[in-house]
Amino acid sequence: MGSPTTTTLNSLGLMARGGENPDLHHLEVDSRTVKPGTLFAAMPGSEVHGATFVEGALDKGAVAVLTDAMGARIAGDAVSAAGAALIVSEQPREALARTAALWFGQQPKTMVAVTGTNGKTSVSTFVRQIWIEMGFAAVNLGTTGVEGAWAAPLVHTTPEPITLHRTLRDAVTEGGITHAAMEASSHGLDQRRLDGITLTAAGFTNFTQDHLDYHETFEAYFDAKAGLFARVLPEDGTAVINMDDPKGIDMAAIAKARGCTVITVGRDGGDLHLTSQRLDNTGQDLRFEWRGKAYQKRLELIGGFQADNVLLAAGLVIACGGEPADVFDALPHLTTVRGRMQLAATRGNGAAVFVDYAHTPDAVATALKAIRPHVMGRLIAIVGAGGDRDAGKRPLMGAAATAHADVVIVTDDNPRTEDPATIRAAVLEGAPGATEVGDRAEAILRGVDMLEPGDALLIAGKGHESGQTVGTDVLPFDDVEQASVAVAALDGGLA
């Protein structure tokens, strides 16, 4: 990967020790892909410092190394011996992000980012859908990859800066993209991956328990998310804040302190607020007000919480200059986000099967509460928890399912390198009386088999994912596909 033209350290705003200013042809963060003329970014890691790979990068032709003080101590002698330039930064990740932004040079003219524990994918997708309805060439980037008027896969919700800025450049040059909405994960914000992005607006959805395996404390987790408004969103940008969340007032205060314009969204008042909501078996009707003017629109979306996501998305589009009436006219055309409250299959008796990415206690509770008004019979839930992640939320996942579903099945999610039975046991601590079925395909088949007329099944946890990580292997597995297969088998659709 690299820029289309040769550049130098100084033209990227970088100063090397000793004043060296070599010509650069490539920018890499992976020593395995270094080529002659590369600026190699040796970043601190959670387990291994990237400086340990500097000698290999130099052997392959790296002419400059960007790192921190620790990296300089580890690899400074090797860099000097190779005659390469050494750039030492107190904030090497921020330096990399801003370097990548200059290196690739282009990003969509209008960009927004969304942070929060739940709802990031839905909000960013709805923003993209609204923009497209309004005639703009738009994409959203995040958990589901790059989707919209131009498409590309992504490995991480918020990619590392080189991948992110290469993708944004390609979206502009190859896809003609002018508008982009991206998810801002707490990991990405903490590691300053977004620091080179030029945002017009930023949104906050909610704040609940997740990722404490990485952040360790709620305070650190919140501070990471708050970085979007305290650091990344420019002073002339607009923050769109869900004020129904207890942390909304804190996020709004942080944005105001920076000098940003704030648009408030909620059910209990705000610039854009929901005044009435009527649910039925295919969607919902909303009545809402924008700064005192009332509107009523239809959403073909299941789940009361979708109204919150849609209104936050509408607020972000308005923050980017969208005429409110035009924005609201687009709402009836919104479609379900893949793997988010997605109707996966319907049994012959009318019972529905939904797939949702809910993988936190709050998300499970929200999803089940959202489905309940659409269901006349029993609500059945299939839940699990991922391995090598926040273990504290596992019994809370089980408790959330038990509190809001009539029947609960505990199964495997992505066990990764942990013992699946140990993970299930932790979930079952919060779900006394739940049925344990380790094999996820069998759990889905049994859940579908339980469905009677008027019932509904929610398969929670993996959403859009097309694989299940067991050990270090990713095995093909798609909840939507498995639900369809189960319904076909039980209703006589398979030979």
Residues annotated within the binding site for ATP are: 116-122
The number of CA neighbours under 13 Å toward the Cβ of 238 is 19
User: For residues 183 and 94, what is the distance between their CA atoms, to the nearest angstrom?
Assistant: 18
Distance CA 373, CA 304 (A): 9
With residue 459 as reference, give the H or E element that holds it. strand 456-460
As a whole number of angstroms, the distance between CA 393 and CA 181 comes to 29
d(C-alpha 243, C-alpha 364), whole Å: 21
Coil/strand/helix, residue 247: coil
Q: Which of 393, 365, 347 is nearest to 460 (CA)?
A: 365
Measured on CA atoms in the order 29, 33, 39, 42, is the torsion positive or negative?
Answer: positive
**Among the listed residues 343, 68, 396, 415, the one whose alpha carbon sits nearest the alpha carbon of residue 210:** 396
Q: Which residues pair with 65 in a beta bridge?
A: 40, 86
Rounded to the nearest 5 degrees, what angle is found at the Cα of 74, between the Cα atoms of 96 and 29?
30
Binding-site residues, in ranges, read: 31, 116-122, 157-158, 185, 191, 193, 389, 413-416, 461, 465
What lies within 8 Å, CB to CB, of 268 at 6+ separation is 243, 244
- The answer to whether 89 and 95 are in contact (CB under 8 A) is yes
- Asked if 285 and 300 count as a contact pair (C-beta separation under 8 A), the reply is no
Write out 294-332 in H/E/C secondary structure: EEEEEECCCCCCHHHHHHHHHHHHHHCCCCHHHHHHCHH
Which of 424, 435, 438, 442 lies closest to 482 in space, CA to CA?
Answer: 442
CA 164, 166, 169, 171 torsion-angle sign: negative
Give dist(CA 39, CA 27) in Å, integer: 5
Consecutive H or E run containing 409:
strand 407-410
- 146 vs 460: CA distance, rounded Å: 23
Residue type at 134 in one-letter notation = M
CA–CA distance, 12 with 450 (Å, rounded to integer)? 61
Residues 263-278 as b or e (16 or more Cβ within 10 Å = b): bbbbbeebbbbbeebe
